[in-house]
């Protein structure tokens, strides 16, 4: 990935941090954002210590002006953007214990604002700065597509995020897909699942090698990655 510029949102922890480290190790210049400044700086420091190339800015994906500036900065520092990983997300409550019929309006609203509208903002603001063969990735999970009790508006927001990905694939000139790494051990999942470091390769493969047929808004899940990347 030498010479490529990739933007990763939600890079202060979990999947975003692991993906940022993986891409930097592969030679990409990674441009990172998150709301958590301390965590974001820690990710950037680790990349620099490992000899990687990084730019970072605290940004909130709910704020289109924050993201507009982030993308402008990425293009100024690294040239045209070759990849975007729209990964920033929140989960209010304990994973699997937030049934929709009792969920608060504030939790519903922020899940939609961050996990769905945040993806829309990220992709929309990236468009003016993309290289011709740029790839756009949206992080999601099976709760977006299969009925599962207790995931409430988080599941609703992820379904909406996947619809955003399909819409951009249909209406833009760029390759867009959803990456589903399975259950990953993060604060959003209650610290159960795969180690984030073990799923970062899936995102790198999607950016570098995955067949174009998946970039019509389709889902690249863990099984697809394992099968196709052999």
Mean pLDDT on 63-91: 97
Q: What's the structural domain count of the chain?
A: 1
The sign one gets for the Cα dihedral 182, 178, 64, 22 is positive
> Scanning the structure block, which residue is given the tokens 């992709």?
123
pLDDT for res 64: 98
Catalytic residue positions? 140, 154, 158
CA atoms of 144 and 32, how far apart (whole Å): 25
The token pair at 77 is: 């520092």
Q: List beta partners, residue 184.
A: 194
Q: How far is CA 156 from CA 17, 144, 148, 168, 220, in A?
A: 24, 7, 11, 19, 19
Asked whether the beta carbons of 141 and 158 are under 8 A apart, the reply is: yes
pLDDT for res 193: 65
The token pair at 212 is: 């174009």
pLDDT, tens digit, 9 for 90 and up, residues 219-228? 999 999 999 9
pLDDT for res 197: 79
Q: Residue 84 in 3-state DSSP?
A: strand
CA atoms of 35 and 20, how far apart (whole Å): 16
Residue % of the chain over a pLDDT of 70: 96
Where residue 77 sits, what CATH number does that domain have? Answer: 3.40.50.720
State which H helix or E strand residue 173 sits in: none
> Scanning the structure block, which residue is given the tokens 């290289």?
131
Whole domain around residue 71: which residue ranges?
Answer: 5-228
CA atoms of 52 and 206, how far apart (whole Å): 20
CA atoms of 111 and 172, how far apart (whole Å): 25
pLDDT, tens digit, 9 for 90 and up, residues 158-214? 999 999 999 999 999 999 999 999 987 765 655 566 777 789 999 999 999 999 999
What are φ and ψ of residue 216, in 5° steps? -110, 25
For 189, residues 6+ apart whose C-beta sits below 8 A from its C-beta are: 91, 95, 183
CA atoms of 142 and 156, how far apart (whole Å): 11
- Helices 152-171 & 118-126 angle (0-180, nearest 10): 20
> Scanning the structure block, which residue is given the tokens 């990456």?
179
Q: How far is CA 120 from CA 5, 9, 124, 154, 163, in A?
A: 20, 12, 6, 16, 10
Higher pLDDT, residue 95 or 121 = 121
The token pair at 126 is: 């990236």
Residue % of the chain over a pLDDT of 90: 91
């Amino acid at each position: 990935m030498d010479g490529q510029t990739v933007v990763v949102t939600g890079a202060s922890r979990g999947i975003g941090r692991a993906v940022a480290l993986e891409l930097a190790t592969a030679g990409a210049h990674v441009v990172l954002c998150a709301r958590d400044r301390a965590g974001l700086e820690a990710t950037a420091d680790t990349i620099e210590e490992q000899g990687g190339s990084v730019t970072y800015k605290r940004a909130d994906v709910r704020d289109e002006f924050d993201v507009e500036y982030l993308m402008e900065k990425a293009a100024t520092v690294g040239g045209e953007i070759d990849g975007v990983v729209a990964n920033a997300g929140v989960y209010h409550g304990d994973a699997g214990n937030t049934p929709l019929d009792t969920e608060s309006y504030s939790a519903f609203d922020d899940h939609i604002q961050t996990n769905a509208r945040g993806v829309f903002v990220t992709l929309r603001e990236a468009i003016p700065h993309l290289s011709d063969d740029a790839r756009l990735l949206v992080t999601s999970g099976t709760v977006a597509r299969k009925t599962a009790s207790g995931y409430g508006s988080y599941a609703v927001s992820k379904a909406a995020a996947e619809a955003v990905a399909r819409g951009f694939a249909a209406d833009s000139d760029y390759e867009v897909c959803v990456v589903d790494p399975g259950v990953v051990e993060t604060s959003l999942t209650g610290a159960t699942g795969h180690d984030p470091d073990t799923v970062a390769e899936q995102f790198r493969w999607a950016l570098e090698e995955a067949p174009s047929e998946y970039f019509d808004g389709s889902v690249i899940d863990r099984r697809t990655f394992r099968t196709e990347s052999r």
